[in-house]
Amino acid sequence: MPSSRRLPVAALALVLLAVPASAVGDAGPVGGPWTGAWTAAVQRPTSKFYPTWSEKGFDGHSVRQVVRVTATGPELRIRLSHAYGSTPLRLTGATVARAGDGAALVPGTVRHVTFGGARSVTVPAGGKVVSDPVPMAVRIQRRVAVTLYFEGPTGPVTFHQYALGDSYRASGDHRADVDPGAYTERTPPWYVLEGVEVAARPGPRGVVTFGDSLTDGFGATPGADDRYPDRLADRLAASGDPRPVLNLGIGGNRVLSDSACYGEKAVDRFARDVLGQPRAGTVIVLEGTNDILMGTTQETRCTRPNRRVTAAELIEGYRILIRTAHGAGLRIVGATIPPFPSPPFVVGTYDPERVRDEVNHWIRTSGEYDAVADFDRAVADGDHLRPEYDSGDGLHPNAAGYRAMAEAVDLDSL
C-alpha cells in the first residue's frame, strides 16, 4: 500500500463540488454534530427498468418518500441533490414526519422544513442544499416520511432508481396531509432526496456500503428493509453497538466504466458519494460483477462500453478506492464477489469465472484492504449461489442470502 495518505487531487475536487455555497454548514445553525442516518446514491434521470418521474420531473406535485433511518437523535435535517440538473430547481416547500402505513403520516408529527430560515429554496444546477435543523426526535430503525412540494415545473430531476419501495405523488400542495388520500400515484425510485442526517451524540462512526445491485438490494423483499446493509444495521443495533449504515449501491454500477443508465464508474463517484457522508468511519466495497459480466454482453446504450476487463485492471481500480479512503482517514473493507450465472455471450478465450476467482484471491490475500468480508463464501456453493440464497436469477441473493452476507461481516472489523 502506498505510504502517502493524501487525497488525490481529482478526489479533492469532487468533494469541494459536492457542497455549494448555498448549503448549511456541517454544524448547522443550532444542532449537531451531524451524522448520516440514511442516504441514496444519486443518478442521472432515466427510465431504464420501468417508467419513472425522473425525466419529466414535477409540476404542481407533492412527492412523499419514506426512508428508514439508522441513527438516533433529537433533530434531523435533509439533503437535496440536483447533481444532474441543467437549470436551477425551485422547491416550494417540504415537511418531515414519522411515517405511517403507505403514504400516511403519524398525526402530530408533521414538521415544516426551512432552508436558511425560509420554507422555499432553489437548488443550483449541479449542486445540493442542506436544510436547517428540524426539531423532531428520531430513533434507529424508525421510518421517516419526507414530502417535497414543487409548485412549478422542475424539468428532469436527479433520482435513485432502485429504491425497493414506493414513493408517492399527489397533485397540488399536500405536503402536510396526514391522510394519504391525495397520493394516488406511486413509483419505486427516490427523487431529489439524497440524505437524512441526525444530530447525534458523539459515538462510533458510520459504515458506508458502496457497490452495485448486490448492495442496492436487487432480489430483496420490496418494502421490507432486508437488503444486506439493512441487516448489517440490525446486527449492529442488536450487538449493543448501534451505528449508522448508509447504502450507496447503484444497480449495474461498475468500477472502471461509466454508464448512461448505471451511474459514473466507482473510481469517480467514490469521492462524491462516500467522502460526502458526515461522520463516516468505514466503507465496505462490493463491486466488480458488472465490469466482468458486461464484457460478455451485447452492447447497448446502458452497457456501452462493454469491454472485457482483466483481474489486474479491476485490482488497480480497487487500489484507487483504497488510496482515496485512506487519504480521507476512512477504514476500507473489501468484499469478495459472489458467483454469477454463466454469461450468454463469451467471446474468444475470455473466462469471466477465472477473472472473478483471481480478484477474490487478491482481496482475501493481498492485505491491501484493512479487512475482508467474504461474501462469496457466505452465499456460494462452488461457483453458484446456494439454492436457498438465490432470488431466482443465479446472480442476486434473496432476503436469506442478504442476511447471510450481513452475518459474514466481522463487526470488529468496522
| pLDDT tens-digit series, residues 219-257 | 999 999 999 999 999 999 999 999 999 999 999 999 999
pLDDT at 343: 67
Domains 19-196 and 203-413 share a fold: no
pLDDT at 5: 34
Tell me which architecture the domain covering 203-413 has in CATH: 3-Layer(aba) Sandwich (3.40)
Local confidence band at 298 (pLDDT 50, 70, 90 cut-offs): confident
pLDDT at 73: 95
pLDDT at 32: 60
With a cut of 80, say whether residue 304 has pLDDT above it.
yes
With a cut of 70, say whether residue 288 has pLDDT above it.
yes
Average pLDDT, the chain: 91
Mean pLDDT over 306-327 rounds to 96
Report the CATH number of the 19-196 domain: 2.60.120
pLDDT at 347: 54
Mean pLDDT over 59-65 rounds to 98
Say if CB 341 and CB 393 are below 8 A apart: yes
Mean pLDDT over 117-128 rounds to 98
Q: Where are the domains of the chain?
A: 19-196, 203-413
- Closest C-alpha among 213, 128, 122, 207 to residue 162: 213
The C-alpha cell of 179 is what? 391522510
With a cut of 70, say whether residue 270 has pLDDT above it.
yes
Say if CB 272 and CB 15 are below 8 A apart: yes
pLDDT at 21: 30
* Cα torsion angle, 324, 268, 412, 384, sign: negative
Say if CB 34 and CB 28 are below 8 A apart: yes
More confident residue, 295 or 70: 70
Say if CB 215 and CB 229 are below 8 A apart: yes
**Stretch among 2-11, 33-42, 68-77, 84-93 having the lowest mean pLDDT:** 2-11
Mean pLDDT over 64-71 rounds to 97
- Taking the C-alpha atoms of residue 376 and residue 214, their distance in angstroms, rounded to an integer, is 12
Local confidence band at 200 (pLDDT 50, 70, 90 cut-offs): confident
What pTM does this model have? 0.91
With a cut of 90, say whether residue 146 has pLDDT above it.
yes
Q: Determine whether 236 is exposed, middle or buried from the number of CB atoms within 10 Å of its CB (0-12, 13-18, 19+).
A: buried
